[in-house]
Amino acid sequence: MQHAVRSRTAVRPGPAAVPRPRTRRVASLIDADALRVLHRAARVLLDDLPELTDRLVAVLQEQEPAYRSALAADPAQTWQEVHRSLRHSVASLLDPRSTRDAARRCSWKIGATRAEQGLPLDALLHAFRLGGSLVWQELVEVTSRTAPEDVRLLVHVASDVWNFVDEHCTLVADAYRQVERQLSWRRENRARLLAAALLDGSSRIADLPEAAQALDLPEQGRYVVVAVAGGHPAGCAGARAAAVPEGLRVHWHTGVEVDYGIVLVDGDGLPEPEPGPGGSATGVRIGVGSVVEGLAAVGDARRTADTALSICPEGGGTIRLTEHLPAALVVSGPELGRALAEQVLGPLMRLEPADREVLLDTLTTWLACDGSAQRAGERLYCHRNTVLNRLRRCEQLTGRCLARPADVVEISLALTAHRLLRG
């Protein structure tokens, strides 16, 4: 038994018995032969490069619609691009080290150029893979024609060929996306500048067609500007949805304190938006300006939207300028509004604060109730006679008669000025 164990131990092969060096040597010889075959075929392709370029251009025209348009627009440019790409690809098969950087620069430039021209990235990547497939087919065909027995050796370099294609597809995609991001930023920045110029009224007539295209709005049309302010930034989308009904074409311009929507409308103004499940965000103030004709007048629409926004209560809400024109008149001439408030309400302003607020609140509520002392008393939680007594005192202090329409208009505007122009 011990002898048997010793025998098995004696014949157990050690590391020196594994023929690995011979395997590596054989693999190296095969790789060397495969490279020799690859280089021989690649030189033939390099000599026949114009014909190979013609073949790939024909394949692209047949199989890739985007390249049909590119060829129709500038056939010489496309041919030269394909020729350069193939030349670098085939040269890289012969001398990868010295040609690698030039080949990478070529692919990067193609990706960047095609991004600027708007050729779809999928089409560009498809073209590169078609080019790789054609080069491989040509390598096999040339070898089959000149040395059929060596075709089997090309299998050992196939991964190198396709790794090159994959590497350059990645390069092209990276270049394309980088330029695409830059172009997108430029377009967005240009659109922002054009929208800002429209809103502040400084846009040139010559820029209107470009602005219409950049904002996706017609140059001629009826427009309303919506001003949105206040609220938490997270509620911005909800505020915009609350301001502009769904389905209308609108371009939003984000400002520091106020966002502006340039809205294309069909009728006389902005339709009422459908009530959302949660309503508008708390603290959001929305001002809807008046209708103007054409993009050239958007600056006027923005000014009326700002006026409407200035009338909005501090706690939030929506003010349509066309429904609050008297208040708009007051805030449009703040100095005159303050003068009116002082002239009409001055005697009330000099009363004790508590007394003053009671009389002002009574006047405001009575006007809101269309001159009904009964309804005003219900809102103020007092008897109608108390309301009438307070109103008579207001008449005595202001020198205005609440039975005279002209005096009622003065008092109403003065109260509005007091409320809106306290600062």
- For 83-110, the pLDDT digits (tens) are 999 999 999 999 988 999 999 999 999 9
- pLDDT for the residue 29: 55
Query: CA-CA distance, 280 to 317, in Å (whole number)?
Result: 8
Taking 70 as the pLDDT cut, the residues of the chain under it are 1-30, 231-237, 273-282, 423
Query: CA-CA distance, 70 to 79, in Å (whole number)?
Result: 10
Cα-based distances in Å from 194 to 203, 209, 214, 229: 7, 11, 8, 21
Cβ atoms of residues 107 and 100 within 8 Å: no
- Does residue 214 lie within any of the structural domains? no
Query: CA-CA distance, 337 to 407, in Å (whole number)?
Result: 16
Q: Write out pLDDT tens, residues 316-358.
A: 889 999 888 888 888 888 899 899 999 999 999 999 999 999 9
- Does residue 189 lie within any of the structural domains? no
Query: pTM of the full predicted structure?
Result: 0.66
Mention every residue, 6+ apart, whose C-beta is less than 8 A from residue 153: 30, 33, 34, 37
Name which of 305, 308, 224 is nearest 268 in CA terms. Answer: 224
Beta strands in 192-243, from DSSP E residues, in sequence order:
222-229
- The boundaries of the domain holding residue 261 are 219-323
- Does residue 310 lie within any of the structural domains? yes
Within this chain, do residues 146 and 66 fall inside the same structural domain, yes or no?
A: yes
Q: List the structure tokens of 341.
A: 């408030």
Q: List the structure tokens of 230.
A: 């206040």
SS3 content of the chain, % helix, strand, coil (to 5): 75, 5, 20
Where does a domain end: 139, 163, 183? 183
**H or E element at residue 122:** helix 121-146
- Does residue 210 lie within any of the structural domains? no
- pLDDT for the residue 268: 73
Q: Write out pLDDT tens, residues 107-148.
A: 999 999 999 999 999 999 999 999 999 999 999 999 999 999
How big is the CA angle at 197 (ends 195 and 200), to the nearest 5 degrees? 110
Within this chain, do residues 282 and 390 fall inside the same structural domain, yes or no?
A: no
Report the CATH number at residue 152: 1.10.490.10
**Would you tell me the crossing angle of helices 334-349 and 405-420 to the nearest 10 degrees?**
100
3-state secondary structure of 265: strand
Name which of 122, 142, 141, 133 is nearest 161 in CA terms. Answer: 133
Within this chain, do residues 71 and 136 fall inside the same structural domain, yes or no?
A: yes
Within this chain, do residues 319 and 390 fall inside the same structural domain, yes or no?
A: no
Where does a domain end: 281, 302, 323? 323
3-state secondary structure of 172: helix
- Does residue 202 lie within any of the structural domains? no
Based on the structure, what is the number of domains in the chain? 3
Report the CATH number at residue 378: 1.10.10.2840
Where does a domain end: 183, 211, 228? 183
- Does residue 112 lie within any of the structural domains? yes
Within this chain, do residues 28 and 175 fall inside the same structural domain, yes or no?
A: yes
Within this chain, do residues 55 and 131 fall inside the same structural domain, yes or no?
A: yes
Within this chain, do residues 301 and 345 fall inside the same structural domain, yes or no?
A: no
Q: N- to C-terminal Cα distance for the chain?
A: 112
Residue whose entry in the numeric block shows the structure tokens 């409320």: 419
- Does residue 3 lie within any of the structural domains? no
3-state secondary structure 276-333: CCCCCCCCCEEEECCCEECHHHHHHHHHHHHHHHHHCCCCCEEEEHHHCHHHHHHHHC
- Does residue 94 lie within any of the structural domains? yes
Give the phi and the psi of residue 249 in degrees, each rounded to 5.
Answer: -80, 125
Within this chain, do residues 27 and 125 fall inside the same structural domain, yes or no?
A: yes
Query: CA-CA distance, 309 to 302, in Å (whole number)?
Result: 10
